[in-house]
Structure 1
Amino acid sequence: MIERYTRKEMGEIWSELNKFRLWLKVELAVCRGWQKLGKIPPEVVQEIERRTFVDEKVISRIKEYERVYKHDVLAFISAIGEQIPEYSHFFHMGLTSSDVVDTALALQLRQALDLILKGVEELMELLKSLALLHKNTVMMGRTHGVHAEPITLGLKFLSWHEEMARNRERLQRARENISYGKLSGAVGTYSNLDPRVEYYALQELGLQVEPVATQVVPRDRHAEVMYAVASTASALERFATEIRHLQRTEVLELMEPFQEGQRGSSAMPHKKNPIHAERICGLARVIRANLQVALENIVLWHERDISHSSAERIILPDSTIALDYMIHLFIDILKGIKVFPDRMRKNMDISYHLYGSSKLLVLLMEKGIPRDTAYSIVQECAMRSWEDGIPFEASLMQDERVNKILSEEEIKEALDPSSFLKNVDVIYQRVLKDLDA
């Protein structure tokens, strides 16, 4: 991922330095496993642990070897072997490259998911506080982009909170499902390893043993990680899209923060554009595209090929880096979001209170009018209100079929926005158990 969208902590997780240090961590765990079986003397393992390390100079040495070998794991083994020349025959003993790469990748992905989950928790807390703050901020609910019935802004934030809760569960499940390693050799049969070495090493690393590995850990695990990441990114895109729509000049009910000194357009100095919400939408597209690649990576030839490898070097870092960035960008948007309740009320009046049509339909039905008849009456009154530009209540009172059955007071009560929101507390109590209703 480009530097523009890389936060420092996540960038460090996907750095070459962290990758090679995790490779070394896996190799040392294997050495200790062999030690438990008596294959490597304890004093030798201690010396290997004391002398081996990875820093920027070692990485440069790895790259020198790789230019010759065209194989990064062998380059890594040779560079580390220089640190322990008399013990290098114990290093990487019985392993194949994927043993190290896949096991270390599980650790790396787990680090990335832990950081993402930390951001999700922060975002959920912020959404919860906004949901409580705007519980009674009345606004128009829209379906198909058209006025439907009144809701509250708090309910919108509460919906986002719940969607993020589901994504948190997906990310947690993906973290659990990726926490598997394999140290079972060339085609997973332990031809040059003892299964106990794998068990000892993975237990030390906090990973589970892949029950049936080939030369690699099956890639459905990685695809599940990518799905959880893509699902979360898509949720953020949904939220950002809502802000973009509500920031349109014709609506202007919400606005993302616009900082002092910020400029919205090179040509039009008046512009305040929802650029950060739009950025989230764009990055979500990249992540969803990467999910497709992860699904295709599941299909490998026989016990493995490396068609997945080149793709994973891009999609796994880029997707987790992008999602981490998107989460924190959206947190910044919400921390500074502008809310315009007066504009929300004004926009509700644009459609002449037609949002009350469903209430009138039910009222007439309660008075004994057949549903189809009641529907036609209310629809005719609504269309007259649209065409003549008069309030819905006036159109209703002008209709003899309505005013014979309903009083003006009944109509006004039905069109009161609060009548649509009488059960909001029920929704809040269902979602936020600790809410003091």
Structure 2
Amino acid sequence: MIERYSTPELAGLWTEEHKYATWTRVEVLATTAQAELGIVDQGSLADIRRAPVPAVARVRELERTRDHEILAFLAAYTEPMPAASARWVHHGMTSYDLVDTALGHLLARSCDHVLNAARTFAGLLVERALEHWDTVCIARTHGIHAEPTTFGHKLAVHAFALHRCIARLTAARAAVAVGTISGPVGTYAHISPYVEEWVCGQLGLGVESMPTQVVARDRHAELLSALAVTGAVVEQFALEMRMLQRTEVGEVDEPRTSAYQGSSAMPHKRNPTTSERLCGLARLLRSHAGAAYENVALWHERDLAHSSVERVILPDSLTVAHYQLVSAAGLLRGLRVFPERMARNIDVTRGLVYSSEVFLDLVDGGRDREEAYRLVQAAATEAWERGTGLADGLGSRGVDVTADHMDPRRFLGNRDHLKSRLDELSKELQQHVEV
């Protein structure tokens, strides 16, 4: 992923240098396990442990003569070793024993960063939802004013959606945090299963349940699916923030630096660029998930069609997801909220948003439901077309509208029931932090 949409934590994990360091660690662990079995002597093991991580430039140089990255890496790694020791490196292993086991480790560490960012963002959503639990605003359906709600309720919806994403990401982390060191076609013909169990245990990985020489790619598809859904949930939040910043709405304002310039031509512009960026990045995550599905079906015990795709989609998806979550948290942390503007927007339709209260009061008073609906609808249509108030249209039809009908808090009588759910989520997230 390009630097603009990367975080230091994820960018550092997916460098070529770190990849070769991880490959080196896997090779050392595998040789150590074989030494415990008495296959490799301690002198050779010491030589193998002493050898430095090969330089990327040297691996690339050797790859030009081999056309095989893993063989080039092994040649570069074993160059400083005595031949008697070098012969034990990669003993009984096949290329993807090394690649997939190291990949499982990198994926698990990357998922940990993404999960931490998701929990931080979820915690902020809960925090600000509680802060604005009583900040009354208008809800909109189909983009049209509906009934009053609160800004805290809006944020709570996003908090619970992200909480579901955390559950998906946790399951996906478990799915990808596996390795395999089972030799060609996964039969353990040339290597003991003990080596696999020991190496994976040292790396904090599970073992592929039925290896075919590679780790099953449905695992990676599950991860990228979870990342895509998380991206869509962040997009949902960002889209709401974009729409609430529209000039005619003006209910919130995302944070900007003092150097901010919104337009090269119009100095007055305050564009919701952070929110827009979050929405755009979600598209990348969805497209990469589709590519991951294509990688699931490999020929027989394995082929290499997935490799070139994974070199792009795995680091890019994890990096983008982390960047997106960190940026969304920064946006929410610095978000300015304007309760006065929210209150004014409720009144912009001159009472139309209270139509349901009048309608239900008429029904409760004995009116036929269809008759009551048509009466209030006609009054609302008249008010909309003439630019008058709902009370005027109802009054001309013999229906008195009281101040109680026009009180937005009348719609919020059961908000304590909803707040109890949010309080429970807050406790759950806090428990995870404390653990």
Deviations 1:361-409 (A, max 9, x none): 2212212222222211111111111122222123222212x34xxxx43
Deviations 1:55-100 (A, max 9, x none): 6xx2221111112211111111101111223311100001111111
Q: Which of 255, 258, 281 is the matching residue for 1:257? A: 255
Q: Which of 379, 392, 399 is the matching residue for 1:394? A: 392
Q: Which residue of 1 aligns with 2:94?
A: 96
Deviation at 1:434, TM superposition (A): 8.1
Whole-Å separation in 2 of the counterparts to 1:197 and 1:358 = 69
Q: Which of 136, 139, 145 is the matching residue for 2:137? A: 139
Deviations 1:35-60 (A, max 9, x none): 222111234323321x12216xx222
Map 1:8-157 → 2, pairs under 5 A: 8-49=8-49, 51-54=50-53, 58-86=55-83, 87-157=85-155
* Residues 172 and 226 in structure 2, CA contact (< 8 A), matched pair in contact too: yes
Letter in 2 for 1:419: R
Q: Please state whether the residue corresponding to 2:413 is helix, strand or coil.
A: coil
Q: Which residue of 1 aligns with 2:414?
A: 423
Map 1:338-377 → 2, pairs under 5 A: 338-377=336-375
Deviations 1:110-130 (A, max 9, x none): 111111111112212211221
Deviation at 1:415, TM superposition (A): 2.6
Count of residue pairs brought into register by the alignment:
426
Deviation at 1:199, TM superposition (A): 1.6
Whole-Å separation in 2 of the counterparts to 1:258 and 1:7 = 19
Whole-Å separation in 1 of the counterparts to 2:107 and 2:424 = 33
* Residues 385 and 392 in structure 1, CA contact (< 8 A), matched pair in contact too: yes
Structure 1's unaligned 5+ residue stretches are none
Letter in 1 for 2:72: A
CA separation of 1:420 and 1:435: change in aligned 2, threshold 3 A: farther
* Residues 429 and 435 in structure 1, CA contact (< 8 A), matched pair in contact too: no
Letter in 2 for 1:150: P
* Residues 123 and 426 in structure 2, CA contact (< 8 A), matched pair in contact too: no
Normalising to structure 1: TM-score of the pair?
0.94
Whole-Å separation in 1 of the counterparts to 2:62 and 2:419 = 61
- CA root-mean-square deviation: 1.5
Letter in 1 for 2:337: V
Q: Which residue of 1 aligns with 2:430?
A: none
Q: Which of 288, 301, 304 is the matching residue for 1:303? A: 301
* Residues 126 and 422 in structure 2, CA contact (< 8 A), matched pair in contact too: no
Whole-Å separation in 1 of the counterparts to 2:160 and 2:173 = 20
Whole-Å separation in 1 of the counterparts to 2:38 and 2:216 = 31
Deviation at 1:268, TM superposition (A): 0.9
1:274 aligns with 2:265: no
Q: Please state whether the residue corresponding to 1:83 is helix, strand or coil.
A: coil
Map 1:178-217 → 2, pairs under 5 A: 178-217=176-215
Whole-Å separation in 2 of the counterparts to 1:120 and 1:189 = 39
* Residues 29 and 205 in structure 1, CA contact (< 8 A), matched pair in contact too: no
Letter in 1 for 2:33: G
Letter in 2 for 1:5: Y
Whole-Å separation in 2 of the counterparts to 1:30 and 1:346 = 68
Whole-Å separation in 1 of the counterparts to 2:350 and 2:317 = 46
Normalising to structure 2: TM-score of the pair?
0.95
* Residues 134 and 152 in structure 1, CA contact (< 8 A), matched pair in contact too: yes
* Residues 428 and 435 in structure 1, CA contact (< 8 A), matched pair in contact too: no
Q: Which residue of 2 aligns with 1:414?
A: 405
Deviation at 1:261, TM superposition (A): 2.1
Whole-Å separation in 2 of the counterparts to 1:5 and 1:186 = 38
Q: Which residue of 1 aligns with 2:166?
A: 168
**Where do 4+ consecutive residues of structure 1 move more than 6 Å?**
none
Whole-Å separation in 2 of the counterparts to 1:258 and 1:63 = 43
Whole-Å separation in 2 of the counterparts to 1:276 and 1:358 = 37
Letter in 1 for 2:362: L
* Residues 240 and 278 in structure 1, CA contact (< 8 A), matched pair in contact too: yes
Structure 2's unaligned 5+ residue stretches are 428-435
Q: Which residue of 2 aligns with 1:2?
A: 2
Whole-Å separation in 1 of the counterparts to 2:52 and 2:379 = 80
Whole-Å separation in 2 of the counterparts to 1:61 and 1:104 = 20
Letter in 1 for 2:360: V
- Greater shift, 130-139 or 252-261, is seen at 252-261
* Residues 221 and 292 in structure 2, CA contact (< 8 A), matched pair in contact too: yes
* Residues 98 and 216 in structure 1, CA contact (< 8 A), matched pair in contact too: yes
Q: Please state whether the residue corresponding to 1:372 is helix, strand or coil.
A: helix
Deviations 1:223-269 (A, max 9, x none): 11101111111111111111111111111111112321211111111
Q: Which of 284, 287, 292 is the matching residue for 1:286? A: 284
